[in-house]
Structure 1
Amino acid sequence: MDFDLVVRNGIIVTASEILQPGLDIGIQAGKIICIGAGLPATANTEVLDAEGAYITPGGVDSHVHLAQANAPTGDGWETGTRSAVAGGTTTIIAFASQEKTDESLFPVLDEYDKTSKDQSYCDYSYHFILTNPTTKILTEELPVLFRERGISSVKLYMTYELMKVSDRQVLEILFTCKRLGMTTMIHAESHDMISFIIEGLERNRNTEPYFHAIARPRIAEDEASYRAISLAELADAPMLIVHMSSEIALGHVREAQGRLLPIHAETCPQYLFLLSENLKAVEHDHFHGAKHVCSPPLRHDPADLEGLWRNVANGTVTTFSSDHAPSKYYPEGGKRLGLVDGIPRFAKIPNGLPGLETRLPLLFNQTPACRPEGKARLSLPRFVQLASTNAAKLYGLDGRKGSIAPGYDADLIIWHAGNTGARTIHQKDLHHDIDYTPYEGMEVGNWPRYTVLRGTVVWDQGKGVVGKMEYGQWLKRGRGEVLVGRTGNLPRGMLPEERGYWM
């Protein structure tokens, strides 16, 4: 067999196991053809020596904001995907966002396609953000987008005046998505709680960046998460609650999962590594905290971080995404929108943090590959589930992305062997187009040595980004899988025949 590439002498990790050391991966035409010992190499075969390092699937980051009109100083496709491959991510799913005034999704899709065409270093797809879910969009347009373009997921907001949908609209979308086999994502925070608190903070002139964390308390996430789960239970539809930051809200998810409801949870690096103290002023820069404004906000207590880690380790959390939604700090139009006539106004600060490139090294640092066994927070297979496999399955990419097995795309991360990959995160070393990183100065025990996308090395830490921008391909996705629970459940207290009376 004539391979294009053979990766030798690595320790392959999948979502279920760590394979015996020294197996080779044979790659042909961008696909993994076989895994075995002593695979042959001809004069036409490139050989990549992993030197005993771990090899994990290329990362799948299923929550990325790029080239969105509401973030004019954020990353575009070129810079965002460049940073993705430099951090081991080979697939991203970004957001095409409908405005409240948009009566059709097709023009939105056409405009977003223009921003991404031939601009991506990695493979990519979109979710659709729905803000005006008309009957025509739900009954006529979503089926076409799913069938012809393979866009098999939508995102909804329960907060933000310009984006939120009502509970009634959430139900209508859930029923539609269940029928089509699409995944529904939801940003769960109580809009009324938050707007009420913001009015009081502004009335009392508490408008520094730190008060962003005060304005969006955990209870706002807890209540909205419970409500979102209840809506999904009534519709008997799968749901993913995005960027969860509260242990109590995750408790609602775990309780629902215990009743076999198909409720999935996502969390992000900022909720595992950062606290609200990062929102406070620092010497010589009273507005510095604006760099850490995101929603839900950073929480107050180290115990909040520990609560999140428990839910990552115990399986409640399904996916680990960056929610890369950055705005630059210094230029006008970015985070500085929160300075109004020189006065900080936290409610005007664009939400979001950069994190696409640092997502995987931060999480890998919590495995036995970087920590003593008793100090590791999660196993290597659990890392693979969170970083790649679960997102690929949930969003209709299983069989192609998210695993190291014959027939899958040859998307790989080859880490450094032993402790040779340790480094300190510094903004100057990153490849995004943002002027800061919230993880400045954090130490990680490893960093991708090579990132391989469809059999081609696109990141070589010794040389930098070596892939071509136009190499990234559009991914037509299929039906998402239900990873926890099942459909076919009856809401608590409801008679078996009740739905038949009103459906």
Structure 2
Amino acid sequence: MGFDLIVTNGIIVTASDVLSHGIEIGIKDGKISCLGTCLPRESSTEIIDAKGAYITPGGVDSHVHFAQDNSPTGDNWETGSRSAIGGGTTTVLAFASQRKTEDSVLPCVEEYHKRAKDQSYCDYGFHLILTNPTPSIMEAEMPLLISQGITSVKLYMTYEPLKLGDSQLLNVLMSARALGFTTMVHAENSDIISLITDRLEAAGHTDPFFHAISRPQIAENEATYRIISLAELTDTPILIVHMSSEIAMKHVRKAQTRMLPIHAETCPQYLFLLSERLKGTHKDKFEGAKCVCSPPLRHDPKDLEAMWRGIANGTFTTFSSDHAPSTYDHAGGKKLGMKDGVMRYRNIPNGVPGVETRLPLLFSFAGREKDSKLSLQRFVQLTSSDPAKLYGLEGTKGSIAPGYDADLVIWYPETEMKEGVVIEQKNLHHGVDYTPYEGMTVKNWPRFTILRGKTVWDRENGGIMGKMNAGKFLQRGKGRIVAGKTGQEVNGMLTGERNYWY
């Protein structure tokens, strides 16, 4: 049969099963050729001994920000993708962003292709951020982008340079229903946030902690309910990104129980960090700026536990990093919020780094132990298989099965990780100067990351093994619905009523 690589002596985890110890993975030409026992070796066959450790699919991080104009001190494609493979992620989906003044999306997509070409250590794809969805874009340019493998868009309900009004949201949702692209939504009520921010500033409350005060959970809750209503009206599947609020999550859960195709995503910061992290220290009163992100960190440990419930019970379809870093100690980074000794949180770039720590943080709570918060299979669903399905990569990424790309994470055997791994900035590979998870201990870390059959990360032998131009642009197909179904009538409307206007 002639395998290029055989991974042996591991415990394979998929979205549905934990396979018996001893099943080997045979890899040929960058693809998984077969799973079996006693696979035939040749003199040229490379062998990796997993030493009894778990093997999971390469991570699919479906929400990262690399080389963004609004984050000039953040990660570019080289540093961001390097960080991804160091943490077991082999596929990232990043954002090409249209400006409101642009009446075409093609130039920004072309420019983003240039930024990523030959600069990525891992495979990658693009979402389109739509800020000016003109009829010509929706009717002529979106079908073209879909044919080129860009099959998802992100919409904002907040941020003045980005936000869309309800009529614009409805028009995009109807186009998404007709064309079949996946729609992501940042759901926060912009007017609530603007009013509170202005009043806080007038009262002199401008240090980083007040970022959390300015964006209360009700802003997320209202916008979540509203976008679910708009999606139901138009019969359109959506994914609500980086959710942080229990009530907002309950809106999603309720919609899912009615079989509406409403998907949701959360991120590590909403499982591990609280708003107290936005407060400065005696040594550095501005240090809380490191953890400014939107939605903001919430106040109560119960908020963290609520997000863990959504992780475990299936409310969340994906678990992304929302990696959106800015250098802390830089006048053009987080320090934009400090001028002449005065702190102004509204000027602090939003976002935290997390693409490298995403998998280890969640893996620490996956397993069969009594203190585990989710199963190993659920871990794979959230971090690999479901984002691959939702974003048009099913059959290529997100699973360990014949025909899929040979993207693998080989963890350490538990006997070699009794003390765990302490997360430290000095050991990470991103291009910024801090991690919000500094000092936290995780129970494991990827020993090997394998991208299309090639070892690109070997923690014990130099770390980064791959080349910067190893990553390929992924021409994605149309995503499929993971939760719910389309074709349902809206409560209170006549059967077929939307046919009059849709």
Partner of 2:34: 34
Q: Which runs of 4+ in 1 moved over 6 A?
A: none
Query: 1:419 touches 1:446 (CA, 8 Å); kept in 2?
Result: no
Partner of 1:6: 6
Equivalent in 350, 373, 383 of residue 379 of structure 2: 383
Amino acid in the other structure paired with 1:426: E
Indicate whether 1:407 and 2:406 are aligned. no
Q: Distance in 2 between matches of 1:114 and 1:100?
A: 21
Task: Give ranges in structure 2 of 5+ residues lacking alignment.
Answer: none
Partner of 1:479: 478
SS at match of 1:449: strand
Partner of 1:501: 500
SS at match of 1:470: coil
CA-to-aligned-CA distance 1:360-391 (integer Å, 9 cap, x gap): 000000012xxx62100000000000010000
Amino acid in the other structure paired with 1:131: T
Indicate whether 1:373 and 2:379 are aligned. no
Partner of 2:389: 393
SS at match of 1:111: helix
Partner of 1:417: 413
Partner of 2:23: 23
Partner of 2:312: 313
SS at match of 1:397: coil
Indicate whether 1:153 and 2:152 are aligned. yes
Query: 1:5 touches 1:48 (CA, 8 Å); kept in 2?
Result: yes
Partner of 1:427: 425
CA-to-aligned-CA distance 1:445-477 (integer Å, 9 cap, x gap): 000000000000000001210001101000000
Query: 2:274 touches 2:298 (CA, 8 Å); kept in 1?
Result: yes
Question: Shift of the alpha carbon at 1:15?
Answer: 0.1
Amino acid in the other structure paired with 2:113: D
Partner of 1:325: 324
SS at match of 2:9: strand
Partner of 1:176: 175
Partner of 2:434: 436
Aligned residue-pair number = 499
Q: Distance in 1 between matches of 2:363 and 2:389?
A: 21
Q: Distance in 2 between matches of 1:390 and 1:258?
A: 19
Partner of 1:492: 491
Q: Distance in 2 between matches of 1:349 and 1:316?
A: 31
Indicate whether 1:263 and 2:259 are aligned. no
SS at match of 1:226: helix
Q: Distance in 2 between matches of 1:75 and 1:178?
A: 34
How do 1:22-421 and structure 2 match up within 5 A? 22-147=22-147, 149-368=148-367, 373-421=369-417
Amino acid in the other structure paired with 1:467: G
CA-to-aligned-CA distance 1:412-468 (integer Å, 9 cap, x gap): 000000142421000000000010000000000000000000000000001210001
Q: Distance in 2 between matches of 1:220 and 1:469?
A: 41
SS at match of 2:62: strand
Amino acid in the other structure paired with 2:136: K
* TM, length-normalised to structure 1: 0.99
SS at match of 2:82: helix
Task: Give ranges in structure 1 of 5+ residues lacking alignment.
Answer: none
Query: 1:90 touches 1:123 (CA, 8 Å); kept in 2?
Result: yes
Q: Distance in 2 between matches of 1:373 and 1:334?
A: 41
Q: Distance in 2 between matches of 1:403 and 1:219?
A: 37
Amino acid in the other structure paired with 1:90: T
Query: 1:361 touches 1:446 (CA, 8 Å); kept in 2?
Result: yes
SS at match of 1:373: coil
Q: Distance in 2 between matches of 1:349 and 1:382?
A: 35
Identical columns (%): 63
Query: 2:489 touches 2:496 (CA, 8 Å); kept in 1?
Result: no
Q: Distance in 1 between matches of 2:384 and 2:114?
A: 27
Which stretch shifts more, 381-390 or 174-183? 174-183
Q: Distance in 2 between matches of 1:269 and 1:160?
A: 22
Question: Shift of the alpha carbon at 1:340?
Answer: 2.4
Q: Distance in 1 between matches of 2:428 and 2:489?
A: 49
Question: Shift of the alpha carbon at 1:497?
Answer: 2.7
Q: Distance in 2 between matches of 1:499 and 1:423?
A: 55
Q: Distance in 1 between matches of 2:139 and 2:193?
A: 33
Q: Distance in 2 between matches of 1:341 and 1:496?
A: 62
Question: Shift of the alpha carbon at 1:233?
Answer: 0.2
Q: Distance in 1 between matches of 2:49 and 2:357?
A: 24
* TM, length-normalised to structure 2: 0.99
Q: Distance in 2 between matches of 1:231 and 1:497?
A: 17
Please provide the CA RMSD for this pair: 0.7
Q: Distance in 2 between matches of 1:141 and 1:28?
A: 38
Amino acid in the other structure paired with 1:81: S
Q: Distance in 2 between matches of 1:170 and 1:359?
A: 30
SS at match of 1:75: coil
Query: 1:420 touches 1:446 (CA, 8 Å); kept in 2?
Result: no
Partner of 1:465: 464
